[in-house]
Amino acid sequence: MAEPLDPDMFHPMCPSSALPFQIGDKWTGMIVLCLAGGPRRFTELRVPLRAITPKVLSQTLRTMCRDGLVTRTAYDENPPRVEYELTELGRSLLVLIDAVREWSDQYLPAILAARESHQV
């Protein structure tokens, strides 16, 4: 028999609640990968992330800036130019993303098969 769960296991001050993105976050990991090669403009990010709306991309980038994962640099030019770049902290996520991608390569077929067999 399993031990009872601790009612305080998800304490409000738990570090996991402050993580910059959840396991299921749809865009943060993809944005990190897009910025892995260097600074990019908003419109450059929209190309590989064509399914994301401009509003969601803006919100996600703002959140990533707030969390210290990305820097936003505005250049005083005409027309104005803004670039986003990973910080050292943001770059540290690449190791985790690579691990998840490797795990997915190995186990995604099994997950898809389980989903298909579970359909009613």
Task: Report whether 27 contacts 60 (CB < 8 A).
Answer: yes
| Bigger pLDDT: 70 vs 2 | 70
- 39-81 pLDDT, tens digit per residue, is 999 999 999 998 999 999 999 999 999 999 999 999 999 988 9
120: confidence class by pLDDT, cuts 50, 70, 90 = low
**pLDDT of the residue at 21:** 56
Q: What is the CATH number of the domain that holds 102?
A: 1.10.10.10
| Bigger pLDDT: 12 vs 55 | 55
**pLDDT of the residue at 8:** 61
**pLDDT of the residue at 81:** 92
Q: Answer yes or no: is 108 within a domain.
A: yes
**Is the pLDDT assigned to residue 102 strictly greater than 60?**
yes
Q: Answer yes or no: is 34 within a domain.
A: yes
**pLDDT of the residue at 119:** 78
Please count the structural domains in the chain: 1
Helix (H, G, I), strand (E, B) or coil at 28: helix
Give residue 47's domain range: 24-118
Q: Answer yes or no: is 73 within a domain.
A: yes
Question: Whole-prediction pTM value?
Answer: 0.77
Q: Answer yes or no: is 17 within a domain.
A: no
Q: Pick from 27, 15, 12, 11: which is nearest to 63 by CA? A: 27
**Is the pLDDT assigned to residue 89 strictly greater than 60?**
yes
What does 52-107 look like in DSSP terms, one character per residue?
Answer: S-HHHHHHHHHHHHHTTSEEEEEE--SS-EEEEEE-HHHHHHHHHHHHHHHHHHHH
Q: Answer yes or no: is 65 within a domain.
A: yes
Q: Answer yes or no: is 11 within a domain.
A: no
- 14-47 pLDDT, tens digit per residue, is 555 555 555 557 899 899 999 999 999 999 999 9
Q: Answer yes or no: is 86 within a domain.
A: yes
